[in-house]
Amino acid sequence: ESIPPVAFGTFKLRGNDAYTCTLTALKLGYSHVDTASVYRNEAEVGRAVRDYLSEAQVPRSSVFVTSKLSPKSHGYEAATQAVEDSLQQLGLEYIDLYLVHWPGKAKLKPDDVKHAQARLDTWRALEAAVTRGVVKRIGVSNYTIDHLTQLLAHCQIRPAVNQIELHPRYQQLSLVQVCQTQQIQVQAYSPLGCGQLLEEEVLQDMASKLGKTSAQILLRWSRQQGYSLVVKSVSNVLVLMYQALTKMGSGANQCLFLRAMLTESPPIWILILSFPPPIWLS
């Protein structure tokens, strides 16, 4: 079974907003929902999934659910409990994809050597969850080449996905190449650069020529690279999902030129939070 290429992201959605937006997204055509323990909305997202399945009278397999392990839950015992907690919060019998959200363990100093062992112990716990059948696939998020190299040298089950920030201003080409060589699906979060790329003049000019929006151009660019996506739009969701990700006619190849037209910049999360990446991210 393949992973649906466009996921509805629920980051920053809380309470009834998380429930309503998730349910709306599913009704409008999304078949993949992305949540996480640290989002504090697994209960609402799970309720929306269950209500949608009941109302639409479709099987559980109709909706693909991704959740993620909190940095505080690294380690074998903690990760084992985290999986059970997510299952309970979601109210589902299994999770389609469970990711290690962050390669570092909370409360450890950035240069602490314990990060590496914690990652491996965590992965063993996730492998055990797959064996138990409560998780269908496991993967990682925000992993660098070094993190992947370490994991691939020790794992029994290879990561299905690496969910990372990707957009024309932060392309991570070396990391993407490693993922693709190792047959790890690249999943792009913040494909619009947290909205900061929408005002780029070169992007607006291209959108005008193609009769599309800047958001559609950026989403199309990501799909042309072969990335799956996590997007957060409920409004005009069908336009974003289908018009942006289908053929654009003779102008489609122009989207690829964004690789050269926009200069590389630090990841958006670093710009927003105004601090350098931790040592274990280098």
Which residues are annotated as catalytic?
A: 39
- Cα separation, 163 vs 205, in Å, equals 30
> Mind giving me the DSSP string for 228-267?
EEEE---TTHHIIIIITTS--GGGGGGGGGHHHHS-----
Residues 6+ apart with CB under 8 A from 172: 164, 165, 166
* Residues in CB range of 266: below 8 A, 6 or more apart: 170
Decide if 170 contacts 265 (C-beta within 8 A).
Answer: yes
Nearest Cα residue to 136 out of 99, 81, 88, 163: 99
Q: In terms of residues, how long is the chain?
A: 282
For the record, the structure tokens of 191 come out as: 């494909």
Q: Which two tokens stand for residue 74?
A: 């690294």
Q: Please report, for residues 22, 147, 170, 230, the alpha-carbon distance to residue 178 in angstroms, rounded to integers and kept in the order given.
A: 33, 11, 16, 21
Amino acid at 116: A
